[in-house]
Amino acid sequence: MKWTGPESKWSGGLAHWVVGDRAYLSVAFTFKLPEARKLAIYYAATGHKVFAGGPALAHIKTQKFLEDVAWVPRGAGNPGRLDGALQRHNPAATIASRGCSEKCSFCIVPFMEGDFTELPDFPVLPVLCDNNLSGLPGEYQDHIVGRYLAEGVPLLDANSGFEPRTFSSSVFERWRVINRGVWRLAYDDMVEREYIKEAMAILRGAGIPPRKIQIYTLLGNEPYEACMQRVHEVIEWGGEPYCQPLMKLVALTRDPHVKHDWTAKKLRGVARWANNHMWRSSALRFEDYDPSVRRAPRARYDASQGLFI
C-alpha cells in the first residue's frame, strides 16, 4: 500500500481559516492561546465573526481567555470542540474514536471527551489520532483495521498509540497488518512498569527494531530517580524514549510544571538529552551532560510527527 494523498504535516498546535465572514481558530495546546488571542483580535478587527475551539479550550479558565473576542462553543462533555478541525491541523489525519478509558490526571482527554465514543464512518487517512487504540473493544479495533484494508490506505502513524495496560499479543497481531509507522506507547509512572515491559517484549520478540518502538516517558510527575529509571528501562528493554516534561493543563507558556526534586532546567535538559539520542553514547550519561555544549540541535518541532524533538 502506498499513500498518494496529502502530506502529513502538523500545524504546530494552532490552525485558523476563514469561510465567508467567519474566522475559525482551533487551538490544540494552551500555550498557543496568547497567539490565538492575537489572531482573534485581528480577525474581529477585519470584520469577521470569530469562532474558537479545540483541546486548549476544554477548561472554563482557558475558555475565558478568548470569550471576549470569540465565540467558544461548549458541547456537552466536550467543551470547545470544533467539528472538522482535525484536518486543518493535519490534512492526512483522522480519528476513529474519541475519549479514553484511562483517567490520567495529567491528560486533557478525560476533561474534554470522557469515555470512548466510536466514530465508525471516519475518513480513512494515514495518521490515526485516537487516544487509546488498544483500549477500544476488540470488535471495533477490527472494524478500524478492516476499513484501512478495504480502502488500501497504509497506517503511517498511530499518533497517540496504545496503552501498555491493554496492549497484548492479540492487539499487536491485529494492528501489525496495517501499521507502517512506529509503535507508540507510554511509560508515565512506575505503576506501569510491568505492563510496559511486557508490551515492549512483545514488540522486540516480533523483531520490531528499537527505532520503531517509541515510548512516551513523562518527566516530573515522579521524583528524579524514578523518572530516570523509566528512561533507562525503555532503552534497556529495546525502545527509544521520547521524554515530555510535565505541564499544567492550563499553562499559557511552554514551561514545565516543577514538582518533587526537579528544576525547570533539569526537566528541559533530560528531555533534550533523551530526545536527541545522546544516550546512545555510553560515555555520555545525563549526569555528565552539559547542555551549554552544543552537541546536537536544540529541541525543534517536527511537523510530520506533531512533536517537539
Q: Give helix then strand counts, H and E, for the chain.
A: 9, 15
**pLDDT above 70 (res 240):** yes
Angle at 34 between CA 265 and CA 242, to 5 degrees: 40
Domain span including residue 58:
14-89
Q: Say if residue 176 is in the same domain as residue 261.
A: yes
Number of Cβ within a 10 Å radius of residue 249: 18
254 found inside a domain: yes
- Pairwise CA distance, residues 184 & 216, whole Å: 7
Mean pLDDT of 235-245: 96
Domain co-membership, 300 together with 196: yes
111: confidence class by pLDDT, cuts 50, 70, 90: low
Residue range 128-171, pLDDT digits in tens: 999 889 999 999 999 999 999 999 999 999 998 899 999 999 99
Q: Which of 89, 107, 139 is the last residue of a domain?
A: 89
Q: What global pTM score does this model have?
A: 0.86
Please give the Cα distance from 250 to 56 (Å, whole number): 8
State which amino acid sits at residue 85: A
Q: Which residue has the higher pLDDT, 227 or 278?
A: 227
Indicate whether 98 pLDDT > 80. Answer: yes
Task: Check residue 247 and give its pLDDT.
Answer: 92
Q: Which of 62, 89, 116 is the last residue of a domain?
A: 89
Tell whether 78 and 99 lie within a shared domain. Answer: no
User: What gap in Å lies between CA 24 and CA 47, rounded to an integer?
Assistant: 13
Helix ranges restricted to H, the chain: 33-45, 60-63, 86-89, 109-112, 138-151, 169-176, 193-205, 224-236, 264-275
For residues 274 and 215, membership in a common domain is answered with yes
pLDDT recorded at residue 77: 44
> What's the pLDDT tens digit per position in 23-35?
999 999 999 999 9
pLDDT band of residue 291 (cuts 50, 70, 90) is low
